[in-house]
Amino acid sequence: MKNKTINVDYLSRVEGEGALRVDIQDNQVKDVKLNIFEPPRYFEAFLRGRDFREAPDITARICGICPVAYQMSASHAMEDIAGRKIGGPIRELRRLLYCGEWIESHALHVFMLHAPDFLGYEDALQMAAEYPDQVKMGLKLKKIGNALMDLLGGRSVHPISPRVGGFYKVPTRQELDAMVDDLKWAKDASLETVKWVSTLPFPDFEIDYEFVALRHPDEYPFNEGRIVSNKGVDIPLSEFEKVFEEEHVQHSTALHAHRKNGGPYLVGPLARYNLNYDRLTPTVQKAAEEAGIAETCKSPHKSIIVRSLELLYACEEALRIIDQYAKPECPYEEVKPGAGRGYGCTEAPRGILYHRYDIDDNGAITDAKIVPPTSQNQEMIESDLRSYVENHLEMEEEELQWKCEQIVRNYDPCISCSTHFLKLDINRK
C-alpha cells in the first residue's frame, strides 16, 4: 500500500472528543493531525469579572477527571498574588488530596483505558472475562482513590472542600485512620500492578523526548517546584510563558504548546519520573529496577509501568501523611490578595497544569490564562504518531489504526481538559 489514509473519527477510551488523521503518500507520511473538536467552553473569557475566590470551583469544571489539579493550581496562583505560602498540615492535606486524585485517575487509565490495548481487548469489560482479578483489583484501587477524595474533598468529582488558603473542613485523625487499611491494601496492589504491567508486550519504540515537569528540593512533585526539563529549562513559574508558547492551529480547538523557537515537549508521568527519579521512595525505586526501567524510561508505551509506579508512590505518600497528621486549628488561612498577578502550576495526573491570573483591587479577575497538560502534549503525540507510522508503513490498515489509537492513549489525553481537543484519519494517497 503506497498511499492511504488512516481515519479514526472518534477516539475512544480518552476523555473528551477527538479524532486522528494520518496521510501517507508514496510510502511517506505526509501529514499527521490530531483533531480536537471538543467544543470551546471559554473558561478564560468568563473568568473575567469573577471573584478570585470562585476560581477553584469554576476551573474544576474544566475537567471531571482531574478537578483537584485545577483547584490546586488556581488556589496556589491566588495565594501567590497575596505573597502567601501555605505550609504545615494544610499543605500536607493538599498533597493527600492529590494522592487521591492520582490513585483514582491512574487506576482508571492503567486498568480500564490503557491495558486493554496491550492485550487486544476493546475495553476493560471484555478484558474482565479473561483477566477478572486484574480488572477487580483496578476497580478497587480506583475506589480507594475516590474514597480519599470523598473524605478530603466532600466528593470525588468536583470536590467542594478545597478553597483559596486551604479547606472549608479538614478531617479528624480518626477519619484518616479509617483509610489506613485500605491504603495498605492499595500499596500491595500497586506493587502487584507494577509486576503485572511490566510483563505486557511492548514494541521497540523509544523517543529522545524533552521532558518537562516540576522539580522540588525534597519531594516528588505535586503542588510546588521549579519548571525543569532534561534539555536546559530550569525556571520559576513566572517565566513559563517566556519559554513556552501556545499556537492556535486550524485542526484543533486545543491550543498547541511548544518551546519557543523549539520543538514539542512531553509532560506527565514519564516526564516527572525521568526528572525526579531520585525523589521517589526506596520501595518505588526497587520496584522500578525489578520492572527493568530504573532511572530512565523513554518508551511512551511503558508509561503504563510508570503510572503504576506513581500509583505505588501515591499510596506510600498517603500513608506517610496520615501517619504524621496533626489536625490544624483552622482549616484554612485567610488570604486577601491586593491587585496583582500570580502563578500556579501543579502536577495533574497527566502533567503540569499552568494557571496565571491578574486581579484588581476588588479581588475581581481581570485576565486568566490556563495551559492544560493535554494541549502541551498535543504536538508530541503527533510527532510520536509520525515516527511510529513511518516505521510501520507495511502494517495492515486495521492493525495500524489500532496501534495509532494506542499511541494517543499512551498519553492519557484529557481532551475535555484541553478546553480549547481529538478525531484518527489515516489517508494514503
Partner 1 sequence: MDNNQKPKLAVWKFASCDGCQLTLLNCEDELLAIADKIQIAYFPEATRAVVEGPYDLSLVEGSITTPEDKERIQKIREESNFLITIGACATSGGIQALRNFKDVKEFTSIVYASPEYISTLDTSTPIADHVEVDFELRGCPISKAQLLEVVNAFLFNRRPNIPSYSVCIECKRRGTPCVMVSQGEPCLGPVTQAGCGAICPFYNRGCYSCFGPKETPNERSLSRQFVKMGYTNEDLVRAYRMFNAQSDSFRKESEYYEE
Residues 177 and 394: their CA atoms lie apart, in Å, by 56
CB-wise, 139 or 235, nearer to partner 1? 139
Closest CA to 405 of 12, 58, 26: 12
Report the SS3 class of residue 163: strand
262's grid cell: 523549539
25's grid cell: 503518500
With b for 16 or more beta-carbon neighbours within 10 A and e for fewer, the 80-101 pattern comes to bbbebebeebbbbbbbbbbbbb
Please classify residue 232 by burial: count the beta carbons closer than 10 Å to its beta carbon, then call 0-12 exposed, 13-18 middle and 19+ buried: exposed
- Spell out, one character per residue from 324 to 363, where the chain touches partner 1: x when CB under 8 A holds, - when not: -------x--------------------------------
Cβ neighbours for 236, distance < 8 A, ≥ 6 positions apart: 226, 227
Among 122, 188, 323, 397, binds partner 1 (CB under 8 A): 122
Interface of this chain with partner 1, residues 176 to 205, rule: CB under 8 A: none
Angle of CA points 305, 310, 313, to nearest 5°: 130
Size of the site for partner 1 (CB under 8 A): 70
Closest CA to 229 of 276, 278, 296: 276
Among 115, 128, 257, 404, binds partner 1 (CB under 8 A): 128
| Interface with partner 1, residue 146, by CB under 8 A | yes
CB-wise, 112 or 287, nearer to partner 1? 112
| Interface with partner 1, residue 64, by CB under 8 A | yes
Among 123, 234, 390, 397, binds partner 1 (CB under 8 A): 123
- Spell out, one character per residue from 206 to 245, where the chain touches partner 1: x when CB under 8 A holds, - when not: ----------------------------------------
| Interface with partner 1, residue 400, by CB under 8 A | no
Parallel, antiparallel or unpaired: strands 365-371 and 351-359: antiparallel
Q: Which stretch binds partner 1 (CB under 8 A): 5-13, 197-205, 284-292, 350-358?
A: 5-13
| Interface with partner 1, residue 48, by CB under 8 A | yes
| Interface with partner 1, residue 393, by CB under 8 A | no
Residues 125 and 239: their CA atoms lie apart, in Å, by 45
| Interface with partner 1, residue 44, by CB under 8 A | yes
287's grid cell: 520496584
Interface of this chain with partner 1, residues 152 to 181, rule: CB under 8 A: 154-158, 160-161, 163, 167-169
With b for 16 or more beta-carbon neighbours within 10 A and e for fewer, the 240-257 pattern comes to beebbbbeebebbbbbbb
Among 1, 10, 83, 289, binds partner 1 (CB under 8 A): 10
Distances (CA, A) of 209 to 75, 206, 221, 383: 31, 9, 20, 10
104's grid cell: 483514582
Among 6, 14, 275, 404, binds partner 1 (CB under 8 A): 14
Interface of this chain with partner 1, residues 82 to 111, rule: CB under 8 A: 108
| Interface with partner 1, residue 12, by CB under 8 A | yes
Which helix or strand (DSSP H or E) is residue 81 part of?
helix 67-81
Residues 216 and 242: their CA atoms lie apart, in Å, by 21
Q: Give bridge partners of residue 348 from the DSSP assignment.
A: 351
CB-wise, 250 or 261, nearer to partner 1? 250
Q: Which stretch binds partner 1 (CB under 8 A): 33-41, 177-185, 188-196, 387-395?
A: 33-41
Residues 146 and 148: their CA atoms lie apart, in Å, by 5
| Interface with partner 1, residue 61, by CB under 8 A | yes
Neighbours of 354 (CB within 10 A): 23
- Min CB(292)–partner 1 separation in Å: 29
Residues 363 and 336: their CA atoms lie apart, in Å, by 8
Interface of this chain with partner 1, residues 298 to 317, rule: CB under 8 A: none
- Min CB(213)–partner 1 separation in Å: 24
Among 68, 237, 255, 257, binds partner 1 (CB under 8 A): 255
- Min CB(347)–partner 1 separation in Å: 19
Among 19, 22, 55, 62, binds partner 1 (CB under 8 A): 62
Applying CB under 8 A, which residues contact partner 1?
Answer: 10-17, 38-46, 48, 50-51, 54, 57-58, 61-65, 67, 108, 112-113, 122-126, 128, 135-136, 139-140, 142-143, 146, 154-158, 160-161, 163, 167-169, 247-250, 253, 255, 331, 402, 405, 414, 416-417, 419-420
